[in-house]
Amino acid sequence: MTSLADLPAVERLPYDIARIRRDFPILKREVSSGARLVYLDNAATSQRPVQVLAEITRFYRDHNANIHRGVHTLSVEATELYEQARAKVARFIGAADPREIIFTHNTTESINLVAHGWARKHLQPGDEVVISEIEHHSNIVPWQMLRDERGITLKYIPMLPDGTLDLDAARSIITDRTRLVSITAMSNALGTIVPLDVIVARARAVGALVLVDGAQSVPHMPVDVQTLGSLGVDFLAFSGHKMLAPFGIGILWGRLPVLESMDPFMGGGDMILTVSMERSTWADVPAKFEAGTPNVGDAIALGAAVDYLSALGMDAVRRHEREITDYALRRLADVPGVTIFGVPDAERRGGVISFELDGVHPHDIGQVLDTKGVAIRTGHHCAQPVMLALNVPATARASFYIYNTTDEVDALASGLEEVGRFFGVRK
Ligand code: C6P
């Protein structure tokens, strides 16, 4: 049987990769060493295609005005474009109503919005919030702050040595006292894809609400909130900058009745219905959660990013990344001294590979690879509990997106072989 690695790249990939790469001029640049950029830090942030860059310019050049405030042409146009972007995001994740899409700045703010707007209002001392050991700090710290302020109990579903969650333990950790389960769909540190159905079913059985951290799932695989909602998911948080859009635009999807039951997060302009010297009343969802002038231009550019991904098809995006990841798992396993953390197959992981190279500090790996043009992330990846569980201070992490090729994986592997030779790795 012909293995994937034996096939020419063009037969393996679900779309025309060369055409896609032409949309990302940054992929042609050289880094300071003079080497051609091989960008493998996509879990931190993606690159942006010319279509998104053009949309940013078009907005500021032709339509720039504040929204929801003016009757003049530019303000009306800007408002329409902003609300069209909301509708595009709603369609992209299958939301029934654009009012269920709240624009924030990033995943972190989306999770904090739920902690402040829902949890502070509805949770009492002794109530339990359940998260997991593989969460990003954004889905740990807000709950620790709430625990310290409100006397709630914070519990963790443990990680097993292969980077998956202990689902048996989850069944007993989620109890009648659990009011919220806040869980990642995919680990940014290890790439583990979490079987949400099992965890959400248990949460639903005890009447708990569920927040899904979609920062690493929405950009990389089909995500449909109708399906998630029918499982029992109430909130989905994600960031534009990991899915081709600019920095500073994030999304919280919530089920409308739940959003309507929440308090505002921040007070100010645009989120009110009336203000007197004594009191204020709130605007309807979503305006209630979008205090002050929002990030209009970047929301509109997010709409262009969503158009781009929709044209590719999220099934094809996932297929491409699974194939690249499968290839990379096998390629890196052959590099002397490399240990890959997490599940051994590309089926149960997204396009993220964390690894160590025997005896070489991850920062040194990152620095030497940079001289070859290869950009990876090194460190704790804002997931220190995962590092503690693995008993390592840090890892090196390569992460893939729509434009990465098997040639780039080869560049990573041969770069690592060179790092190994340089540092005298023998295994
Ligand atoms: N992870 C990484 O290199 P923000 O910063 O708010 O856009 O996203 C936070 C966040 C939340 N959850 C998960 C699963 C994430 O991966 C991230 C961001 C980046 O892994 C930057 S630390």
pLDDT in tens, 116-129: 999 999 999 999 99
* Residue 41 annotated among the catalytic residues of the structure: no
- Copy the structure tokens of residue 88: 């595009």
- Copy the structure tokens of residue 234: 């109430």
φ, ψ dihedrals at 101, nearest 5°: -100, 115
CA of 44 to the centre of ligand 1 (A): 7
Confidence label for 9 from pLDDT (cuts 50, 70 and 90): very low
Three-state DSSP state, 319: helix
List the residue whose alpha carbon is closest to atom 2 of ligand 1.
44
Chain mean pLDDT for the chain: 95
Most ligand 1 atoms within 8 A of CB, residue of 136, 235, 376 to mutate: 136
57-311: CATH class? alpha beta
Location of each CATH 3.40.640.10 domain in the chain:
57-311
Ligand 1 binding pocket (C-beta < 6 A) is: 43-44, 106-108, 136, 138-139, 184, 188, 213, 215-216, 239, 377, 381-382
Omega of the bond leading into 25 within 30 degrees of 0 (cis):
no
Confidence label for 33 from pLDDT (cuts 50, 70 and 90): confident
- Active-site residue, from 37, 316, 382, 392: 382
To which H or E segment does residue 131 belong?
strand 128-132
Give the Cα separation of 122 and 150 in Å (integer).
Answer: 11
Residue 377 alpha carbon, nearest atom of ligand 1: 3
CA of 299 to the centre of ligand 1 (A): 19
CA of 285 to the centre of ligand 1 (A): 26
**CB environment 115-126: b (16+ within 10 A), e (fewer):** bbbbbbeebeee
Q: Which residues contact 58 (CB under 8 A, 6 or more apart)?
A: none
Q: Terminus-to-terminus CA distance in the chain, angstroms?
A: 30
Q: Quote the pLDDT of residue 427.
A: 66
Average pLDDT over residues 359-365: 96
Give the Cα separation of 250 and 238 in Å (integer).
Answer: 6
Confidence label for 13 from pLDDT (cuts 50, 70 and 90): low
CATH number of 11-40+313-420: 3.90.1150.10
Q: What is the DSSP letter of 90?
A: H
Q: Which residue, chain included where needed, has tokens 């310019």?
A: 57
Average pLDDT over residues 335-357: 97
Say whether pLDDT at 2 is over 60. no
Q: Quote the pLDDT of residue 1.
A: 35
Average pLDDT over residues 148-154: 97
Give the Cα separation of 188 and 197 in Å (integer).
Answer: 19
Location of each CATH 3.90.1150.10 domain in the chain:
11-40+313-420
The pTM of the full predicted model, rounded to 2 decimals, is 0.96
Say whether pLDDT at 12 is over 60. no
